[in-house]
Structure formats: structure tokens, C-alpha cells
């Protein structure tokens, strides 16, 4: 089943901490149940995003490596 994406956050090319700052800020603007998709290329995000989801209670719906070194995270706001 394809999840409906409410917002896409492009963090490609950005280094730590910009992806996490942008994600945290964007998540603040979402309402409960909405889904955000984040694209990034910083390998740090691979551990930072799941940890952040754990801590904040937001749900990491999926995490995948795409072509061209891009990671894609789909997160549902708590």
C-alpha cells in the first residue's frame, strides 16, 4: 500500500546538523497522523533519524537506500 505523503523535505547534499534541524522544524508544523518524506545524502542520517523517531515517538514508516546515494525516510507524526 502506498502511503500518502503530505510533505517532502529535500535535504540532499546537506551535512549534519542541517537535515535534523530541518526535519525537527518541519515535524513541528505537521498535525498528528500526517506523513513527511525526507530525502538526504548524509550517512549520519541513517542513525540520526531512527534515533530521533524513537525519542520523539514519531513513527518511522520506511527507510530505504535509493540510487545515487540518496536515503529516503518516511515518517508519520505522532
Partner 1 sequence: MAETNKEPGILSQLFRIFFSKHWPVWVGGIVLGALNVFLFAIKSPWGASGGFNVWGENVYKMVGMFGLDGTKPLSLSFYGMLCIFLVLGSFIAALLSKEFAFRIPPKGELIKGFIGGGLMALGATFGLGCSIGSFFSGLPALSGGAIIFTLGLFFGTIVALKYLLWEMEKFPSFSSGKSYTFLAASAKKGGWQRYLGWIVLIITFIVAYRYSGDNKIMAWFIIIGMLMGLISQRSRFCIVKGFRDPFMTGESDGSVGVMAGLLMGIFGFTIIKYFGIGIGDVGVRAREMTWVFPHFFLRAGIGGFVFGVGMTVAGGCAVGTLWRVGEGQVKLWASALGFLLISPISKLYIVKPLVEIIPQNLRFKSFLPDYIGYPGAFTLMIFIILIWYVFVKWNEKTGKFSAY
Write out the catalytic residue numbers.
Answer: 16
Beta-carbon contacts of 45 under 8 Å, excluding residues fewer than 6 positions away, are 11, 16, 19, 20, 38, 71, 73
* Closer by beta carbon to partner 1, 4 or else 50: 50
**Residue from 24, 29, 33, 78 binding partner 1 (CB under 8 A):** 24
- The footprint of partner 1 on this chain (CB under 8 A) covers a number of residues equal to 32
24 φ, ψ (degrees, to nearest 5): -60, -40
Which positions lie near partner 1, rule CB under 8 A? 10, 12-18, 20-22, 24-25, 27-28, 41-44, 46-48, 51-52, 55-56, 65-70
Amino acid at each position: 500500500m502506498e502511503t500518502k505523503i503530505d510533505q517532502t523535505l529535500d535535504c540532499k547534499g546537506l551535512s549534519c546538523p542541517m537535515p535534523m534541524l530541518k526535519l525537527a522544524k518541519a515535524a513541528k508544523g505537521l498535525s498528528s497522523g500526517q506523513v513527511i518524506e525526507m530525502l538526504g545524502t548524509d550517512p549520519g542520517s541513517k542513525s540520526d533519524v531512527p534515533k530521533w523517531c524513537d525519542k520523539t515517538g514519531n513513527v518511522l514508516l520506511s527507510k530505504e537506500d535509493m540510487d545515487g546515494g540518496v536515503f529516503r525516510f518516511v515518517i508519520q507524526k505522532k
